[in-house]
Amino acid sequence: MASLSTPPPTTTTITTVNEGSATSISAVHSDILQTHILTRLDGPTLASAACTCSQLNTLSSQEALWTKICNSMWPSTNTPRIRHVISTFPNGPHSFFSDSFPLLTNLDHTNNSPQSHHDRTSELISAVDVYYKGNLIFSKVIETETVTGWFKCSPFRFDLLDPKDVVPTPIKLQDDDDDTCRDLEEDLELSWILIDPIGRRAMNVSSQKPVSVQRHWLSGEVHVRFATILAGDHHRGSSSEFVQCGVVITCGASQGRVVLIKEMSLQVEDMDGIHLNGKESLVILQRAMEGKKGIKRREEEGRKRFQEFLERKKERKEMKLRIERRLDMLCVAFGVLGFATFWLFVLCR
């Protein structure tokens, strides 16, 4: 388990120079630190502050601080069910933040042991928040059972909206389609946290910023894709060696030229473009929850890994085409040989 763990506190003295005098952090009253300083910090900064000295480590471990940070960053977590689930995590909201904030970095297959705990996972909870220019425009929580035969055998897919539902947004449709796509690519953000309430683990499967924005040539709808690349099975060279856990937001337009969210779905896709079923996807997601996470710029790293995934898909497709061409040539050669052998037999009789 990788998280924003707090190393053992060390005795550190923070000094300020004031006419030759030095003041340690311990001289600042704990109430001032707790109410006026620590409450202004974001999650990563608060975790760093906890590493500086024993006093800050104690003050930074207050559950109320981390609850406020989680609710501020992900408003969907401020629901009764999510609050209850977070309270069961080893260190409550601190552990939840440590699982949900970092970027997944487990692209190796060392953690792909056959012993998996996916059979005990009876449901997955999705906590989803969509932002535009830093302002929340949509938030929802859905719960999905994972023990039914339908879930295990059908393609893995979480739909956030019902077929007839649409979500109005404050986003204005630009006169130029390219400007609209560029606007969404730069200013739209998504957080999709998958929570395993039984295993008390969570992870954010979104790249935060879109990895691609494309307009459908026929319908005119805009498809905004967020993606995280995960290690699939341990068979090197297989189509599911790496998989894409992707969220696609389908946007349309109203008569008032306002962008509407028509569809939002999460799926897992291999390098052949085939969607994995629920059982296969659940194994991969469980391994990802138990794998390594790291503090990196999610949007930049997400786009980089998505491009690498597309390159792998392209190389795999080209390799399959080369194999097919060789097989076609062999079939033609055997056909010509058989035809020539037949006529040679006829002429020599």
Predicted local distance difference test score (pLDDT) of residue 3:
43
Predicted local distance difference test score (pLDDT) of residue 295:
55
Predicted local distance difference test score (pLDDT) of residue 57:
74
**For residue 96, what are the CA distances in angstroms to 41, 58, 148, 275, 300?**
17, 18, 27, 29, 23
Predicted local distance difference test score (pLDDT) of residue 13:
43
Is residue 19 over pLDDT 60?
no
Is residue 34 over pLDDT 80?
no
Greatest mean pLDDT among 35-44, 116-125, 202-211 lies in 202-211
CB atoms within 10 A of CB 197: 20
Angle among Cα 24, 27, 28 to the nearest 5 degrees reads: 110
Q: Are 203 and 193 in contact, with CB atoms under 8 Å apart?
A: yes
Arithmetic mean of pLDDT, 140-151:
93
Angle among Cα 248, 138, 288 to the nearest 5 degrees reads: 50
Q: Are 161 and 261 in contact, with CB atoms under 8 Å apart?
A: yes
- Phi/psi class of residue 144: alpha, beta or left (left: φ > 0; alpha: ψ in -120 to 50)? beta
Q: What is the pTM of this model?
A: 0.82
Is residue 268 over pLDDT 90?
yes
Greatest mean pLDDT among 30-34, 137-141, 238-242 lies in 137-141
pLDDT digits (tens, 9 = 90+) for 180-230: 899 999 999 999 999 999 999 999 999 899 999 999 888 889 999 999 999
Nearest alpha carbon to residue 108 among 2, 181, 206: 2
Is residue 274 over pLDDT 80?
yes
Is residue 10 over pLDDT 70?
no
Q: Phi and psi at residue 278, in whole multiples of 5°?
A: -60, -40
- Residues 234, 235, 236, 242, Cα dihedral to 10°: -60
The DSSP bridge partners found for residue 189 are 131
Average pLDDT value for the chain: 83
pLDDT digits (tens, 9 = 90+) for 165-190: 999 999 988 888 888 899 999 999 99
